[in-house]
Structure 1
Amino acid sequence: MALAERALTEINPAVRNRILILDVERVSGISQQQWWDRGDLKNRYIHHETVIREPRTTIVCAKFYHDAEVIRLAEWDKGGRARFLKEVHALMSRADIIVGHNILNADIPWLEGDLYFPRIGHRHKPNLPPLPPFKTVDTLRVARQFKSGVHFKSLNALCQILEIPAKTDVYDREAMNRAVAGSVEDRERLTEYCAGDVIATQGLFDALRPYIKNHPTLYVDGQHSLTTCNRCGTETEPSPRRYIANVLSYAMRVCPNCGGYSRLSFEPERMTIVRGV
């Protein structure tokens, strides 16, 4: 089965994990700079005391995997930034798994910083408790496992390659500045742009999921939870192949839905007692 043909392979509706697809948008930072020559600005370190405005998250869009609705949250909604961050915290607290594109280097650390630390340039001082633990799936890291086999790894590029509905707009830094200043048109445009990325991310997640060997375990009620596919929650089937390690071999199973392979870690059959030295 071709990779693009698997884009419609969805997670079993009986899966009980709460899987949150998430994307954020931010406003850029502003700092003072003193310089004698334009070359002085190259790779210049930004000192804390020169910061006028720190970058901060202004929009969060998300949806739980099996829900149709995309949740839209923004700091300019009723209640301001205080309510915005509380709602983001509550949303993330409900998730067992959070999925996004480049979330491990971007969205997650950005949000955790916003939830716990005040941002220069905004008067709000958050006072929120630590988030409960959750697992993550970063579709960018999944794409990187193909290395040079996939030349373009941005969300938009991957969606176009796999023929998944992708971005219909581009991020505009000046539009975000106008949105923060009060522009209703720019607020609506940027929020819809963020929501579109959530839909695109779920499509990419569905397409790449069979290739996520370390996908967090999915729980389905029933007698056969030990043989449930860890990628899509479907009951797996025995495979004639075996997973061969240096000393032991393991029974393997294959998912009839997504095609992903898994191995059983219990009662392995011993292949040999010989080790290379």
Structure 2
Amino acid sequence: MSKRLTKEQRNTIKKCIKLGWSNASIASDVGTTPEAVNYYREKKLGKPRGQYNKTGKPAAKVTVAPAHIKNQTMRAIGKLQGPRILTFDIETLPLESYTWGTFDQNVGLNQIKTDWAALSIAAKWLGDDEVWYEDTRGKATIRDDKDMIAKLCALLDEADIVVGQNVKKFDLRKIRARAMMHGLPPFREPLVQDTMLMARSVGSFTSNKLEYLSKNLTDAPKSAHAKFPGFELWLGVMQGNQEAWEEMREYNIQDVIATEKLYLALRPWVRQHPNVAHYYDDNQRRCPRCGSVNLHNNGTTFRGVSEYHAYTCADCGGHSRSRFTLNTRDKRKALVTTI
């Protein structure tokens, strides 16, 4: 180690290790290196790291505790600054039903053999390197998704903002449905940033699909799951093919990484974004999109009959304005408006 850990750092590391945090997450929060945390973990505490590997694949049994408790702990000790932003994606299993054809079928309820269910879930906190992933591979049946849904509901309950591709129309509605079917309590509804709707509001892209947007706007394109193309991937999973399961895991995790990067690319351009400055316990002037204090004066801007200070964020590049008018009392009296 290049620097001795202070008593406060050691105590914080102990608490975080008990919660299952990774070396990288602990290091970023206590202000040291992952190597120093790993040394303290193994040499002083005798607890080798075994929670995650670098790809997000669980190396041991994964629980929701690290992500769920992390924000509460950091808030309690006064270190959490900014909103808790969660990007997530779910994959689902199809209905199994009886039909007499392959085109334009109207399936009645009594023709459904097996209902749909969640197959896998990946989720990531903004600012954290790790992706939480879980699937139903080890369950009695692959449609037993209750525990997995409960864990995601706990994450959603802790999130201030959730991010996802088509998350409003698909993922959140599916999660609510499965949670109710399992008798789970409602989670606290977070604010939602749907990257598909964000892209649609920003500009006229050729396509608003994740495949197109992530390829052209980020360095993390959506996975093509080429080994099991199209429905072959879901068919392989339902048949118990372990290679298909691994490809599903990689596909699900990559979707979350691609979606988060797409969100960050779109965020400076979006006008209807939650004001993240609310989530900081200070009175500093901050960018309403990313929370940065690196705002530069950019003259003034006019809205309606009022003039405001204009700012540009040096970190995300987004533009913003002050909330209070610069108009003098005499100016306000003199201005008239159209009818």
* Superposition TM-score, scaled by structure 1 size: 0.80
CA deviation map 1:83-138 (0-9, x unaligned): 21221211221211111111111111111111112xxxxxxxx0110110201111
Residues 1:261 and 2:316 are matched in the alignment: no
The aligned counterpart of 2:3 is none
The 8 Å contact of residues 27 and 173 in structure 1, kept in 2 or not, is answered as no
2: CA distance, partners of 1:87 / 1:139: 23
The aligned counterpart of 1:7 is none
The aligned counterpart of 1:233 is 291
The aligned counterpart of 1:136 is 192
The aligned counterpart of 1:92 is 156
Q: Larger deviation: 182-191 or 202-211?
A: 182-191
1: CA distance, partners of 2:138 / 2:300: 55
**Which amino acid counterpart does residue 172 of structure 2 have in structure 1?**
I
The aligned counterpart of 1:155 is 210
1: CA distance, partners of 2:202 / 2:269: 10
- RMSD over equivalenced CA pairs, Å: 2.4
User: Kindly tell me: are residues 98 and 237 of structure 1, through their superposed partners in 2, closer, same or farther at Cα, counting changes over 3 Å?
Assistant: same
Equivalences, count: 248
Map 1:64-143 to 2 at 5 A: 64-77=125-138, 80-117=144-181, 126-143=182-199
Percent of residue pairs identical: 27
Alpha-carbon distance, 1:267 to partner? 4.5
1: CA distance, partners of 2:158 / 2:241: 32
The aligned counterpart of 1:33 is 99
2: CA distance, partners of 1:52 / 1:74: 22
Q: Larger deviation: 209-218 or 259-268?
A: 259-268
Query: Equivalent residue of 2:145, what SS?
Result: helix
Alpha-carbon distance, 1:195 to partner? 0.2
2: CA distance, partners of 1:163 / 1:133: 28
The 8 Å contact of residues 243 and 252 in structure 1, kept in 2 or not, is answered as no
Structure number with larger C-alpha Rg: 2
* Superposition TM-score, scaled by structure 2 size: 0.66
CA deviation map 1:217-268 (0-9, x unaligned): 22233331xx2112111122332031322x3333332212112112222356
The 8 Å contact of residues 156 and 189 in structure 2, kept in 1 or not, is answered as no
| Structure with more helix by fraction | 2
* Greater RCO (CA < 8 Å, at least 6 residues apart): 1
CA deviation map 1:5-35 (0-9, x unaligned): xxxxxxxx97431111111111122333357
